C-alpha cells in the first residue's frame, strides 16, 4: 500500500486501495473550490485512464486458495468503480465516508434499517412521497413509531424528542411546498435532548453543490443521485454520507448484506454526471430565478427560496449556497393548472427534477399521489399546485413556452404587445383576447 493511500485512509478506516482513489492526496493537500473538486479526480489505474474504468466484473480472483482475497473479491461487497465514486462523493459531501446504492429510496431503506421495533422517528409533514410511503410501511409492519410534525417550527419538534427518539428525518426545502427547515437548530436541540438520536437529512433538493448538512450538525446525509448528481435522468442512484465511521460500518453492513450497492456501470455514469454538477446547477438556478421572477411579476403565488418574498428567505440562505432549480406556483384552479401543464411543449410532463431538461408536473396527481387526498388536505397541499423543475435550456424559450401555455389555459391574458396575468382570479380568466391561443 502506497503512502498516499495510507494517508487517505481517514480514521484508520479500511477502505480498499488501488486503483480506486478519487483524489489520493486528499488529506493535507490544498482544497480547491467545489467546482474544481467536482472534476478533479485521480486514479492509480495501470494505464493512467483519465476516466475511472468500469470494472464490469462480479468476481475478482484471489492469488491462491489460502492467501485470502485481494482488495476486492465480489462486487456486492465492493467494486473499484463504485469505491472510486464513493471516495469522490465523500470529498464533495464533506463526509468521512460515502456509500452509493441503487436509488434514493434504497439509501433511505439502508438508513432506516438502523432502527429497531419500538424506536421513534420524528419527521416532517411535507415529505417526498416515497419517503412517506416507506415510513408508513415501517410504522405498520416493523413496529416503528413515526411522528409527523411541522418541522418548519422548531418548537413543534422539541416536545416530541425523548429517549425513545432514534431518528429525526429532515428534508429542506420541502417539495412542492418549498418550506425551509432549520436543520442546525433542530440538530442541536435533538442532540442535547438525546445524544443517541440520529439526525438524518435528505439533501436531494440542494445537492452537495449547495448545502452540506453534515456541517450543519446532521449525522447522516443522503440524497437521490437520480436527480442533480446524475443530471441526465438516465440512471437511478442513491448516496449516503457520514462522518462517524461506526455508523458508516453499520450502513455498509446492510448494503453488503442486502446487495443494494450501485452497479459498476451506474457508478461510472454517476461519476460522469457529478463532474458537471457545478455548471449544470449554475445554469439551472439562473434559469429558475428568471422564471420565478417572471411568474411572480405576473401575479402568481410563487414558492422559491431565490425570491425575497419567500417567508424563510434568510433561513434558507443561512444554510445553503443557492436556491436550487425547483419552484412551484398556484393558479387558483385545478383544471386551469391541468391545462397549463398539458399546453407546454418544451416542459416535459414528468416527475423528478435535477435533469438538464425542464419538467412540469402537478404533484398532487403525480409524485405525491401516494399521499391520500385527506392527508394532502391536512398538510395544506394545494391541489392546483404546479411544480417546475428547471433545466439548462435557453431561458427565453422556457419563458415563451410557459407564457403560451398560461395564455392558452386562460390564466394569463394577451394584450397588444405583452402578456398580462389574470392569474389568481378565476372570473378574470374569461377576459382573454381572441389571439390568446397563439398569442405569445
Ligand X SMILES: *Cc1c(COP(=O)(O)O)cnc(C)c1O
Check binding of 326 to ligand X (CB under 6 A): no
Let me know if 155 is a catalytic residue.
Answer: no
Give the Cα separation of 222 and 203 in Å (integer): 6
Q: At what angle do helices 277-297 and 395-409 cross, to 10 degrees?
A: 40
Radius of gyration of the chain (CA): 23
Let me know if 45 is a catalytic residue.
Answer: no
CB 74 within 8 A of CB 62: no
Residue span binding ligand X (CB under 6 A) among the ranges 54-62, 128-136, 146-154, 371-379: 128-136
Give the Cα separation of 167 and 161 in Å (integer): 10
Check binding of 130 to ligand X (CB under 6 A): yes
Residues comprising the chain, all counted: 440
Using CB under 6 A, which of 20, 105, 239, 291 touches ligand X?
105
Residues 175-194 within binding reach of ligand X (CB under 6 A): none
Each residue 227-266 as x (binds ligand X by CB under 6 A) or -, in order, gives x--------x-x----------------------------
Residue from 139, 130, 135, 327 nearest 224 by CA: 130
Using CB under 6 A, which of 26, 224, 344, 358 touches ligand X?
224
Cis omega before residue 19 (within 30°)? yes
Let me know if 128 is a catalytic residue.
Answer: yes
Let me know if 202 is a catalytic residue.
Answer: yes
- Which residues lie closer than 8 Å to 335 by C-beta, 6 or more apart? none
Give min distance, CB of 378 to ligand X, in A. 20
Give the Cα separation of 138 and 153 in Å (integer): 25
Give min distance, CB of 226 to ligand X, in A. 4
Residues 97, 227, 303, 379: which is the catalytic one?
227
- Which residues lie closer than 8 Å to 307 by C-beta, 6 or more apart? 292, 293, 296, 313
Please report, for the chain, how many H helices and E strands are present, in that order: 15, 14
Check binding of 173 to ligand X (CB under 6 A): no
Residue span binding ligand X (CB under 6 A) among the ranges 7-15, 127-135, 181-189, 284-292: 127-135
Cα torsion 309, 315, 317, 320: sign: negative
Check binding of 151 to ligand X (CB under 6 A): no
Read off the C-alpha cell for 175. Answer: 417539495
Using CB under 6 A, which of 22, 26, 79, 103 touches ligand X?
103
Residues 45, 73, 76, 400: which is the catalytic one?
76
Residues 125, 202, 219, 266: which is the catalytic one?
202
Check binding of 112 to ligand X (CB under 6 A): no
Residues touching ligand X, count (CB under 6 A): 15
Residue span binding ligand X (CB under 6 A) among the ranges 180-188, 197-205, 291-299, 336-344: 197-205
Check binding of 125 to ligand X (CB under 6 A): no
Check binding of 202 to ligand X (CB under 6 A): yes
Strands of 238-242's sheet in order across: 97-101, 238-242, 220-224, 198-202, 165-171, 120-123, 145-148
CA 82 to chain centroid? 20
Q: Which residues bind ligand X (CB under 6 A)?
A: 103-105, 128, 130-131, 171, 202, 204-205, 224, 226-227, 236, 238
Residues labelled as active-site residues = 76, 128, 202, 227
Amino acid at each position: 500500500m502506497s503512502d498516499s493511500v495510507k494517508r487517505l485512509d481517514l480514521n484508520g478506516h479500511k477502505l480498499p486501495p488501488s486503483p480506486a482513489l478519487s483524489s489520493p492526496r486528499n488529506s493535507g493537500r490544498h482544497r480547491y473550490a467545489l467546482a474544481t473538486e467536482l472534476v478533479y479526480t485521480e486514479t492509480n489505474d495501470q494505464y493512467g485512464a483519465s476516466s475511472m474504468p468500469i470494472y464490469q466484473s462480479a468476481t475478482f480472483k484471489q492469488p491462491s486458495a489460502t492467501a485470502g482475497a485481494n482488495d476486492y473479491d465480489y462486487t456486492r461487497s465492493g467494486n473499484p468503480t463504485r469505491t472510486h465514486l464513493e471516495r469522490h462523493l465523500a470529498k464533495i459531501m464533506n463526509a468521512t465516508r460515502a456509500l452509493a446504492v441503487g436509488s434514493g429510496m434504497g439509501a433511505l431503506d439502508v438508513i432506516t434499517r438502523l432502527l429497531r421495533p419500538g424506536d421513534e422517528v420524528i419527521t416532517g409533514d411535507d415529505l417526498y412521497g416515497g419517503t412517506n410511503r416507506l415510513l408508513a410501511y415501517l410504522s405498520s409492519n416493523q413496529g416503528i413509531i413515526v411522528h409527523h410534525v411541522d418541522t418548519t417550527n422548531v418548537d413543534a419538534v422539541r416536545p416530541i424528542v425523548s429517549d425513545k427518539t432514534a431518528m429525526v428525518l429532515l428534508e429542506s426545502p420541502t417539495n412542492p411546498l418549498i418550506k425551509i427547515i432549520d436543520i442546525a437548530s433542530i440538530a442541536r436541540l435533538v442532540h442535547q435532548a438525546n445524544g443517541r438520536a440520529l439526525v438524518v437529512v435528505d439533501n436531494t433538493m440542494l445537492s452537495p453543490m449547495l448545502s452540506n448538512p453534515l456541517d450543519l450538525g446532521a449525522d447522516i446525509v443522503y440524497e437521490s443521485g437520480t436527480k442533480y448528481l446524475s443530471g441526465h435522468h438516465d440512471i437511478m442512484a442513491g448516496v449516503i454520507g457520514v462522518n462517524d465511521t461506526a455508523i458508516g460500518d453499520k450502513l455498509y453492513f446492510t448494503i453488503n448484506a442486502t446487495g443494494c450497492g450501485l452497479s459498476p456501470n451506474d457508478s461510472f455514469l454517476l461519476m460522469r454526471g457529478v463532474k458537471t454538477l457545478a455548471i449544470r446547477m449554475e445554469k439551472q438556478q439562473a434559469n429558475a430565478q428568471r422564471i420565478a421572477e417572471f411568474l411572480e411579476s405576473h401575479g402568481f403565488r410563487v414558492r422559491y427560496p431565490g425570491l425575497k418574498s419567500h417567508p424563510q428567505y434568510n433561513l434558507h440562505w443561512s444554510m445553503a449556497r443557492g436556491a436550487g432549480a425547483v419552484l412551484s406556483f398556484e393558479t387558483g384552479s385545478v383544471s386551469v393548472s391541468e391545462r397549463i401543464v398539458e399546453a407546454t411543449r418544451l416542459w416535459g410532463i414528468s416527475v423528478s427534477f435535477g435533469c438538464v431538461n425542464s419538467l412540469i408536473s402537478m404533484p398532487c396527481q403525480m409524485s405525491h399521489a401516494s399521499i391520500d387526498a385527506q392527508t394532502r388536505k391536512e398538510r395544506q397541499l394545494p391541489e392546483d399546485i404546479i411544480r417546475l423543475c428547471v433545466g439548462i435550456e435557453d431561458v427565453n424559450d422556457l419563458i415563451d413556452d410557459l407564457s403560451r401555455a398560461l395564455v392558452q389555459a386562460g390564466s394569463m391574458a394577451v394584450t397588444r404587445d405583452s402578456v398580462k396575468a389574470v392569474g389568481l382570479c378565476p372570473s378574470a380568466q374569461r377576459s382573454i383576447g381572441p389571439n390568446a391561443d397563439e398569442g405569445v
